[in-house]
Amino acid sequence: MGAVTKGKITDIHELQKVAKKVRLHILHMLTKANSGHTGGSLSAADVAVAIYFSKMNFDPKDPFYKKRDRFILSKGHAAPLLYAIMAEAGYFPLEVLDHLRKIESPLQGHPCCTSLPGIEVSTGSLGQGLSVANGMALGLKLDNNPARVYCIMGDGETQEGQIWEAAMTAAHYKIDNLCAVVDNNGLQIDGPVQKVMGIAPLHDKWAAFGWHVIDVDGHNMEQILNALDKAENTKGKPTVIIAKTTKGRGVSFFEGKVEYHGVAPSQEEYEKAVKEIHNG
């Protein structure tokens, strides 16, 4: 089967509409399950939508299409984001979103590649996704496969040593078919990232490790698209996009609040949030 081609959606306003739908799906899933991670799923929505719907080659009818681009959600606790995108992309009916975190559901609390075709690797053990992305990207190069690999990490996740081992590896082997993204929302489960274990200066650290570094407003679709274009055209080194985002983006009473890292909305909060997103 043929893949969905790159440039499927190039209009910024259309991508913003998809991001709004994805946020609504996320809130619906979390509220119905009464469990899951709200803040980080919402913060990474814009950049994930841009990657999937403006850049990636994929075919939901053939999840193992050989020349598909690969997407790895290293911050696996943001699984509702990935599920919402996959549903919008046509991997499964929207009704399946009602079964988040249910027993025997393909939509587990963290992405599981044996439960849901279209997920490249099971994630959730923080720090491992970039290493897997390296391996996939190198394998594609060895096969002369033109596909690219995208990997989204959390900013708190970059406290993990394995991230920096993977960063050295990617630069050493000039893995230029890899684009990493840091969802830099400034908060993790225990509080502000800079208080738990400071990661600044993030740009300088990635650059020192040999990466092409691009800083963007992670909610500005034009900036995100430009960065993805630059990443695709960068040869001889991997690219990392540091996306400055807001935890809980799209819902004013979730934004910037660490307590919503791993707490689902109440029914009252859900109804209020839906109205706010529709009116936003």
In this prediction, residue 117 carries a pLDDT of 96
Q: Are 184 and 244 in contact (CB under 8 A)?
A: yes
CATH T-level assignment (fold) for domain 12-279: Rossmann fold (3.40.50)
Q: How far apart are CA 276 and CA 151, in angstroms?
A: 30
Question: What integer pLDDT is reported at residue 8 of this predicted model?
Answer: 85
The span from the CA of 36 to the CA of 102, in Å, is: 12
Q: What confidence score (pLDDT) does residue 5 get?
A: 53
Name the phi and psi angles at 59, rounded to 5.
-140, 105
Give residue 36's region: left, alpha or beta (phi > 0; psi -120 to 50).
left
Token output for 221:
């679709």
Alpha-carbon distance values, 30 to 56, 70, 129 (Å): 26, 26, 24
In tens digits, the chain (280 residues) has pLDDT values of 455 555 589 899 999 999 999 999 999 999 999 999 999 999 999 999 999 999 999 999 999 999 999 999 999 999 999 999 999 999 999 999 999 999 999 999 999 999 999 999 999 999 999 999 999 999 999 999 999 999 999 999 999 999 999 999 999 999 999 999 999 999 999 999 999 999 999 999 999 999 999 999 999 999 999 999 999 999 999 999 999 999 999 999 999 999 999 999 999 999 999 999 999 8
